[in-house]
Amino acid sequence: MSRPGTRRRRRSGVTLVELLVVLALMTVLTGAVGYGFVAGLDMQRVHAARQAEQDRTEATELRITRLLQGAKLAANAADTTTYFVGVATTDADDLGCDQLTFTTTAPGVPPVARLSEDDFETQHLARGAVGGVAEVSLSMTPAGDAGDRTGLFERVQRPSDGDPTQGGTEAVLSDEVERIGFQFWDGLQWVTVWDTQAGVRRLPAAVMVSYVPVGAADSDPPRVFVVPLPASDVDEQDPVAGGEAGGA
């Protein structure tokens, strides 16, 4: 029995219940932190994948834009080595014609040629022509044997010749394009065919490029961008009359 006037001393320390509560809270917090970390990594991976896809898409569009902006026709109407030919190889032309072949100054001098210390004649013998006007073809159907490769093919031939259907080297410009189409502004409207070999020797004022990425849903609209052609003399005051563009 305690004496009157004295206080009972309380025992110091942590009770079992308090310890269990702390452990439960730590478990919850650890799980939350772990989930947040994993979710953050997943979001980072998704963002990186989307950014990489966007970068590839932008690179493809920039490449096509640059090639088209360098489109060139010789002033001499008798010159058969410069042309601009957009034709349909299939019946599915809702996006426009699916093959475009044209001559352009855009590819310029290859980096390997600019960095080489060899003289022009040596490079010409080793690599072929390293400058001037080139023939470029964009199509979903390769001109040569592509093996199991699919996508949008780019064929480059330098120097250009009188045959826009073959020659040069071919590579996949983008394996993420399922369909592509080209339309041409004749000064008054968009047309789906342009052939300077069969019609008037004039460049369209602009080219509208529409394409469907691989894996896109049927309900997704195609991606579209328009490229004005600086060397064209076509406008509303001087349009290309119907049929003069080779069947447009």
User: Is 79 inside a domain boundary?
Assistant: yes
Residue 240 located in a structural domain = no
Compute the distance between CA of residue 147 and CA of residue 173 in angstroms, rounded to an integer: 15
Which phi and psi (to 5°) does residue 171 adopt? -150, 165
Q: Is the pLDDT of residue 98 over 70?
A: yes
Write the CA distances from 44 to 17, 36, 53, integer angstroms: 41, 12, 14
Predicted TM-score of the model (pTM): 0.72
> What are the angstrom distances between the C-alpha of 86 and each of 11, 136, 221?
93, 12, 22
Tens of pLDDT, residues 179-221: 999 999 999 999 999 999 988 899 999 999 999 999 899 899 9
Residue 17 — pLDDT band, cuts 50, 70, 90? confident
How far is 24 from 30, CA to CA, in rounded Å?
10
Kindly report the CA angle at 59 between 56 and 62, in degrees rounded to 5? 150
Give the structural domain span for 132.
Answer: 56-228
When divided into structural domains, the chain yields a total of 1
pLDDT exceeds 60 at position 80: yes
Distance between CA atoms of residues 176 and 53, nearest Å: 9
User: Does some domain include residue 201?
Assistant: yes
In a domain, 244, yes or no: no
More confident residue, 237 or 128: 237
In a domain, 29, yes or no: no
The pLDDT value recorded for residue 84 is 97
Task: Mark out the alpha helices in the chain (DSSP H runs).
Answer: 16-69, 111-115, 120-127
Higher pLDDT, 181 or 94: 181
Strands 152-157 and 134-139: antiparallel
Domain assignment present for residue 6? The answer is no
pLDDT of residue 116: 58
What DSSP character marks residue 5? T
End-to-end Cα distance, the chain: 114
Residue 85 has a pLDDT of 96
Report yes or no on 65 lying in a domain: yes
Residue 1 maps to a domain:
no
Contact, 175 vs 151, CB < 8 A? Answer: yes
Question: Judging by beta carbons within 10 Å of its beta carbon (0-12, 13-18, 19+), is residue 60 exposed, middle or buried?
Answer: buried
Which pLDDT value is given to residue 76? Answer: 84
By DSSP bridging, strand 177-185 and strand 190-191 are: antiparallel
